[in-house]
């Protein structure tokens, strides 16, 4: 009988690299992650494959393919399964926090008796045709996920020269009523030039008291060295910013300024020329030229659209703060468009739940999404050359 020769997965990974060089990195990564996941499952079960032991807590149940976009391309991993569920390999954990947060939001709605057909249909796909889930199960799962997200939200901050602030609204069931709650988000560019998600909070509104508490929490966690704050114009945010970071210059989002100007243009055919002129002002090489172009525009609009002229003279200068910064930094800092893209992604994911059963459920999901975004930025390329 021929002797069976077993190859260690590490040898296969080495072979992929030796045969294909860096082109084999993806296959090597797939082999190593698959093996690490199998080892982790064995540790979770307290038993090796086919081992008989009194310490075993569950049984292996094959593998399930999962395709993940990695830094070396799209890879399909074999995710080890266990009969009683509750296990997921930590090497593939990224991405599952968001899925778990979405599922928990749906499960909480189901447990609280507000399960629409949409919620029930999703739970059937998740749990099978015999939907059976208890409030204890939901609470235990929520506690496990919340613990990690809370640590992320409260992690220490450091020197962050540029800070972007924005908010969006989610519908939440509160004391038997549906309310629109504000999701406050802060994103920053660190002294090293990386983007980071600084913090997130769910509040009843964008009133000063809520923005102030949020900004105070950022400062308490170590936020310092702020040279510019970029945001839209909102009374509550402005008041909170002045109270918390009074000496920091403020850049009003130029994109929103262009959008706000539409309210003062009576004729639709004039919107495009007005937007073009405002864009020309913002694209000026320096503040002096921007002010000259603004004065020119105000004189023109004073005859054609006096309301627009008055508004522009009072508001457009709030978009001039970037002229004090290095030229290479201006294009990245003149709008909150980067944060708007994050908000669109939040909307894409939160609409699965539609209405959150409570504020913690909403905070859980947006925290999971933002934590994943933060991890990508932290390990990715430098967003802004701070030495430019």
Quick one: which of 304, 361, 359 has its CA closest to 143? 361
For 40, what's the count of Cα atoms within 13 Å in the CB-facing half-sphere? 18
Q: Which helix (H) or strand (E) holds 258?
A: helix 254-261
Place of tokens 């932290």: 378
Quick one: which of 108, 39, 31 has its CA closest to 72? 31
Task: Give residue limits of the domains in the chain.
Answer: 9-89, 254-334
Query: Are 95 and 102 in contact, with CB atoms under 8 Å apart?
Result: no
Alpha carbon distance 312, 257 (integer Å): 9
pLDDT of amino acid 140: 60
Which 3-state string (H, E, C) describes 298-356?
HHHHHHHCHHHHHHHHHHHHHHCHHHHCCHHHHHHHCCCHHHHHHHHHHHHHHCCCCCE
pLDDT of amino acid 142: 63
Alpha carbon distance 63, 78 (integer Å): 6
**Structure token digits, residue 133:** 């889930």
Q: What is the DSSP letter of 69?
A: E
Alpha carbon distance 250, 230 (integer Å): 6
Alpha carbon distance 265, 274 (integer Å): 8
Strands 73-82 and 250-252: unpaired
CA-based radius of gyration for the chain: 26
**SS3 category, 173:** strand
DSSP 173-210: EETTEEEEEEEEEEEEE-TTS-EEEEEEEEES-S-HHH
Torsion angle in degrees (nearest 10) through CA of 249, 255, 256, 259: 150
Q: Taking phi first (over 0 means left), then psi (-120 to 50 degrees means alpha), and beta for anything else, what does residue 8 get?
A: beta
Strands 177-189 and 162-174: antiparallel
- Helices (H), strands (E): how many in the chain? 14, 7
What pTM does this model have?
Answer: 0.68
pLDDT of amino acid 5: 45
Alpha carbon distance 122, 124 (integer Å): 5
**Residues 282-306 pLDDT 10s:** 999 999 999 999 999 999 999 888 9
Alpha carbon distance 133, 218 (integer Å): 38
Quick count: other Cβ atoms within 10 Å of Cβ 144?
A: 11
Regions of the chain where pLDDT drops below 50: 1-5, 107-108, 110-116, 118-119, 125-127, 131
pLDDT of amino acid 187: 95
pLDDT of amino acid 80: 87
């Amino acid at each position: 009988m021929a002797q069976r020769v077993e190859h260690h997965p590490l040898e296969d990974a080495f072979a992929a690299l030796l045969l294909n060089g860096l082109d084999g990195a993806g296959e090597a990564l797939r082999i190593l992650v698959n093996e690490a996941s199998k080892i982790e499952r064995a540790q979770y079960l307290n038993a090796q494959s086919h081992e008989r032991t009194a310490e075993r807590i569950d049984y292996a149940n094959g593998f399930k393919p999962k395709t993940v976009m990695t830094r070396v391309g799209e890879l399909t991993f074999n995710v080890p399964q266990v009969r009683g569920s509750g296990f997921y390999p930590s090497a593939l954990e990224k991405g599952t926090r968001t899925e778990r947060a979405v599922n928990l939001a749906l499960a909480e709605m189901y447990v609280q008796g507000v399960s629409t057909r949409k919620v029930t249909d999703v739970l059937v796909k998740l749990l099978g045709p015999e939907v059976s889930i208890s409030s204890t199960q939901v609470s235990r799962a929520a506690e496990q996920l919340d613990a990690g997200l809370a640590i992320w939200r409260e992690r220490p901050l450091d020197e962050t020269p540029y800070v972007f602030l924005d908010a969006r609204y989610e519908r939440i069931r509160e004391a038997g009523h549906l309310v629109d709650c504000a999701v406050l988000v802060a994103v920053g560019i660190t002294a090293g030039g990386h983007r980071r998600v600084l913090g997130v909070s769910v509040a009843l509104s964008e009133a000063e008291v809520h923005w102030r508490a949020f900004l105070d929490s950022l400062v308490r966690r170590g936020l310092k060295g702020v040279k510019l704050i970029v945001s839209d114009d909102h009374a509550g945010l402005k008041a909170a910013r002045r109270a918390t970071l009074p000496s920091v210059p403020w850049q009003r989002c130029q994109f929103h300024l262009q959008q706000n100007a539409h309210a003062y243009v009576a004729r639709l055919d004039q919107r495009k020329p007005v937007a073009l002129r405002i864009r020309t002002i913002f694209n000026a090489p320096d503040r002096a030229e921007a002010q000259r172009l603004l004065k020119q525009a105000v004189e023109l609009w004073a005859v054609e659209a006096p309301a627009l002229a008055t508004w522009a003279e009072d508001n457009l200068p709030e978009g001039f703060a970037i002229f004090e910064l290095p030229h290479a930094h201006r294009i990245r800092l003149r709008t909150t468009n980067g944060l708007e893209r994050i908000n669109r992604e939040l909307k894409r994911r939160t609409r699965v739940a539609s209405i959150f059963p409570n504020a913690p459920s909403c905070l859980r999901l947006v925290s999971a999404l933002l934590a994943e975004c933060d991890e990508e930025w932290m390990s990715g390329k430098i967003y802004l050359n701070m030495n430019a």
